[in-house]
Amino acid sequence: MQKIKAIIYICLLSIVGNKAIAQEWTNPVIKDYGKIKYYKDAVMKPERHMDYKIVFNITTDKEIDGVNAGLWKMARTINLLRAGGVKEKNIHLVGVIHGGATPTVLTNEAYQKSKGRPNPNLDILKVLMEHGVQLHVCGQALAKANIDPNTEINKYITFSLSALIDIPTFQLKGYALMP
């Protein structure tokens, strides 16, 4: 009887151990941001050959792992899609930054002057751009925050007229809205 209990115990440990290993946190593509747990047995997973066109509405100043939560979520989306076998050429992401997230777009110098510390978002902005992400900032939000679009926004950002124009324009071009 003791042998049977030992065998059952070992079998259970190996099953639980295998599940735990398969579900470790990873950063498969964007190494420092957007960690994921990829479940191969999940019912809904990325469709490998689909073109993923998503516009992110980034409005919060909340942070995850020291960077803007909306930008971090974009990195997570890339990690999830790539882990699911979607090729980078089939991933089309746009971030429209406005509201409380507007300071995210500042140069290091302007951010330092405004917030008293270096801009923690510059690296993730650079990495997202390297993966083909378009990043727009709302001109109306810049005006409200007294940010000069010609001298105070960093090089990874495209300045646009308004999020009120950007978001529906991308939706009409077939992009799904990620609120």
* Domain range list for the chain: 52-178
How far apart are alpha carbons 136 and 138 in whole angstroms? 7
Global pTM value: 0.86
Place of tokens 């960077």: 67
Say if CB 101 and CB 57 are below 8 A apart: no
For residue 178, the cross-strand partners are 56
Where does 52-178 sit in CATH, by number?
A: 3.40.1260.10
Q: Which of 2, 80, 75 lies closest to 39, judged by CA?
A: 80
Residue 165: both structure tokens together: 């124009």
How far apart are alpha carbons 64 and 104 in whole angstroms? 13
pLDDT digits (tens, 9 = 90+) for 40-68: 999 999 999 999 999 999 999 999 999 99
pLDDT digits (tens, 9 = 90+) for 113-170: 999 999 999 999 999 999 999 999 999 999 999 999 999 999 999 999 999 999 999 9
How far apart are alpha carbons 106 and 114 in whole angstroms? 9
